Structure 1
Amino acid sequence: MSAYLFVHFKEKRTPDGEQVYFGISRDGYKWETVNDAQPVLWSYYGDKGVRDLSINQTQDGRYIILATDLSLSYGMLNQYHNSWTEISEHGSKKLVMWESTDLIHWSSQQMISIEGANDFGVMWAPDVVYDSQNNDYIVNWSSSTMQDNYGPKAIYYSRTSDFKTFSKAQLLYRKSDSEVIDSAMYEEDGWYYLFVKSGANPETIILLRSQQSTGPFERVSNFDDGMNRIQRGKYEAPTAVRVEDQWLLFLDYYGTGAEGQGYVPFIGKTLSAGKFVRSDQSFSFPYGFKHGTILKISDADFDRLKAYHKKPSEY
C-alpha cells in the first residue's frame, strides 16, 4: 500500500504562513494535517520565509525539499516597498533546501546558488524531476532576466546528480506570446510532460510534452478543453501525482481573499490524453493548501508523520 505527503505553505499575512507545512493522506483524496497544522520547518535565512515548495526522493533514498526564498510578510512592507516589480527584479537569487532520510529529521536550512542566477530576478517555484535517460535530476523554475530588462518570465533549468553541485542555468521553455511560470514536470511512458501557467493566450494552465526532459516541447491540445471550463487568470501552481490507475491534478485557486484560496482537484486517466475533470466532491482538505507538491510515501511513513509533534523549543 502507498500513502501520500503534500508539502506546502499557507496564504497568511503573518510570517508563520510562509514556512513548511505537511499534509498526509492514505489515498490521495482525503487529507489531514501534520504537527497540529503548525509548520514542520522554519526558514531563518535569506528572506526568512519560503513559498512554492517541492519535495522529491532521490535514487539513493534522500528526501529533498526546495523552495522559493521569499517572505511577503516581512519583505513586502520592508525591503520591497509594496512592489511586485522590486521583488521580481531584486528578490533572492537563491533557492532554499532541506534534506532528510526519514521525513522526520531534517538538515539545517541550506541556501542554494546556481551559476547564472545573478542575472535573474527571483527564482520562482522550483520543481524537480528525475531524468532516467541521464541518471540525474532536472531542477526547473521560472524567472525574468536582467538581459531582457526583466521582461516576460520563462522556465529555466539546472542539472544535478547529488543536490550538492548544479550545472549552469539554461533555458527550458519560453512562450513567444506571454510569460510562463510555475512549472511541474512528470514522466509517463517515456515522455516528459510539463505543466505551466501561461500569462496570456490563454491565461490559464497549459500542458506540454517532449521525449527529452529538456525539450523541445509541444502543446497537448486536448488539455486545453478542460481548462476552457474554468475561470481564466485565477489558477496557478499545478501539481500532480499518479494514484493507482489515474492522475490527480491540483490547481491552486487564488481568485479570492487569502482565507478562500487553495487547491482545486481534477482527475484524469493519463497525461497523454490530457483530459481532466474537476472533482471537488471526491476530495477533502483541512484548509487551503497553497503551492506545493505531493510525494508517494509508505504506510510506515504515514504513521510516523501522523504521530509527529514538534515542541516550540525544537524549531
Structure 2
Amino acid sequence: MFKAKFISTLRLAIIGLSLCVVTSCSKQGYLFTSFHEPATDGLRFLYSYDAYHWTDLNKTFLKPEVGTQKVLRDPSIAQGPDGTFHLVWTCSWKGDKGFGYASSKDLINWSEQKFLPVMESEPKTVNVWAPEIFYDDEKAEFVIIWASTIPFRFAKGIEDEENNHRMYSITTKDFINFSKPKLFLDPGFSVIDAVIVKRAVKDYVLVLKDNTRPNRNLKVAFGQDALGPYRDVSETFSPKLTEGPTVVKAKNDWLIYFDAYGQKIYSAYKTSDFKNFKDVTSEVSVPEGHKHGTIIKVKRKVIEGLKK
C-alpha cells in the first residue's frame, strides 16, 4: 500500500516538474515588443515561456512623445550588460530624420524619451524606418541599424526614388556619444527591416526584407562582424508580402517570426542553419493585432513584474 502511494506521488511530482520546466516555472522567458495600429497608444509586450505560444499583457508601457507624428512603430529592444533595457522605434512615416529612444531598468519606469536625429546630415532623407538595436558583446557596444531613402543616391531599379531604401548604422557605448551614421547594407535592391543575429564568434546572419516589387519578402545574408560586410544574399525563403522579421533561439533551432501581411497572419519559420527553412506557423500562437517587434530572453521576474 505504502509503495503504491509512493510511486503514485512520485509520478505526479515528475509530471509537475516536467510541466514546470516548459511553462511559467522556468527561470527565464521571452518578451516580444509590440504595437497595435494606428501606433499612437504606445509600447506593448507579449510574453512566452517556450518561444512558441505568446500572451498579450493587454496594456501599454510607454506612450510616444517624440517625432513629428508621435507614433511608436517597430519597437526594438536590447538589454545591456548592466541590465538596462534600451528601446528604439519608428516615430514617423515620413519627414523625420531620426527615431525615438528610451531606456528602463524594469520596462515599467522609463527614462525621458529622446529623438536621435541620425540622418540630419542628409537633408534629402525621406524617412527613417524600423531601427533595430543589437548589443555587440565582442566590441562592448550597441549597434543600431535602420532603413532610409535618399532619392537618386542608388540605382533605382523598379522602385520609385522615394521608396528605394538602403540600410544605415550607428554605434554607441553610452547613448550619449554616437558614431557617425554609415551605409550598412546596399544589396543592389531596396532593403528594409533587417535584423542582426549572432550564431557564434565571427559568425553573423542578417535577416532582411527585399522591398522591391513584386517580391517584398525575406532573405538572409552572412558576415563575420556585426557591422558586416554581409555577403551571399540568399534567395527568398518566405512568401510574398512578408516583413518585420525577428529571430529567437529555441533549443537547437532558430525561430524567425514575421508579419505575413499578404495573408493577414503572423508567421514563423524554423531553421538550424539559415539555409533550410520549415514553416511552423501552425505550431505557434500570436495574439491578434500584434505588429512588428523584436524578441528578447529575460528573467522570469521581469515578466512577473509586467503582469502586476
TM-score band w.r.t. shorter chain: 0.7 to 0.9
Whole-angstrom distance in 2 between the partners of 1:153 and 1:208: 17
Specify the code of the residue in structure 2 equivalent to 1:244.
K
SS in 1 for 2:302: helix
Cα shift at 1:293: 0.3
State the distance in 2 between where 1:126 and 1:157 align.
9
Matched, 1:253 2:260: yes
The alignment yields a C-alpha RMSD, in angstroms, of 2.1
- The answer to whether the 8 Å contact 1:131/1:138 transfers is yes
TM-score by length of 2: 0.81
Is 2:150 the counterpart of 1:145? yes
SS of the equivalent of 1:15 reads coil
Question: Is residue 54–residue 286 contact of structure 2 (8 Å, CA) maintained in 1?
Answer: yes
Question: Does 1:197 find its partner at 2:215?
Answer: no
CA contact (8 A) 1:65 1:99 kept: yes
Q: Is the 8 A contact 2:31 2:297 kept in 1?
A: yes
Residue 27 and residue 151 in structure 1: after superposition, are their counterparts in 2 closer, same or farther (change >3 A)? closer
1:212 corresponds to 2:216: no
Unaligned runs of 5+ in 1: 72-86, 308-315
Which residue number in structure 1 is paired with residue 105 of structure 2?
A: 101
Q: Give the aligned partner of residue 83 of structure 1.
A: none
Paired position in structure 1 for 2:287: 286
Determine whether 1:172 maps to 2:172. no
Counterpart contact for 1:116–1:168, Cα < 8 Å: no
Q: After the TM superposition, which of the residue ranges 23-32 and 131-140 deviates more from structure 2?
A: 131-140
Aligned counterpart, 1:67:
89
Instruction: Determine the C-alpha separation between the residues in 1 that align with 2:122 and 2:299.
Output: 36
Letter in 2 for 1:125: A
Counterpart Cα distance in 1 of 2:186 and 2:108:
38
* Deviation string, structure 1 residues 55-112 (Cα, Å, up to 9, x no partner): 10012211011001126xxxxxxxxxxxxxxx3xxx1112111110112211122211
> What SS does structure 2 have at the residue aligned with 1:192?
strand
Out of 118, 126, 136, the position equivalent to 1:121 is 126
Q: Are the equivalent residues in 1 in contact too, given 2:40–2:72 (CA < 8 A)?
A: no
| Equivalent residue, structure 2, for 1:134 | 139
- Aligned residue pairs total 271
Work out the CA distance in 2 between the residues paired with 1:131 and 1:153. 24
Deviates more, 1:22-31 or 1:139-148: 139-148
CA distance in 2 between partners of 1:102 and 1:48 (Å): 23
Percentage of pairs with the same residue: 30
Matched residue, 1:51: 73
Q: Post-superposition shift, 1:120? A: 2.2
Q: 1:263 aligns with which of 261, 266, 282?
A: 266
1:238 aligns with 2:245: yes
Aligned to 1:75: none
Q: Which runs of 5+ in 2 are unaligned?
A: 1-26, 154-160
**Higher RCO structure, 1 or 2 (CA under 8 Å, sep 6+):** 1
TM-score in terms of structure 1 length:
0.80
Larger radius of gyration: 2
C-alpha distance in 1, partners of 2:86/2:163? Answer: 31
Task: Summarize deviations over 1:28-56 as a string: whole Å, max 9, x none.
Answer: 1111111xx23221112322111111010
| 2:184 maps to 1:181 | no
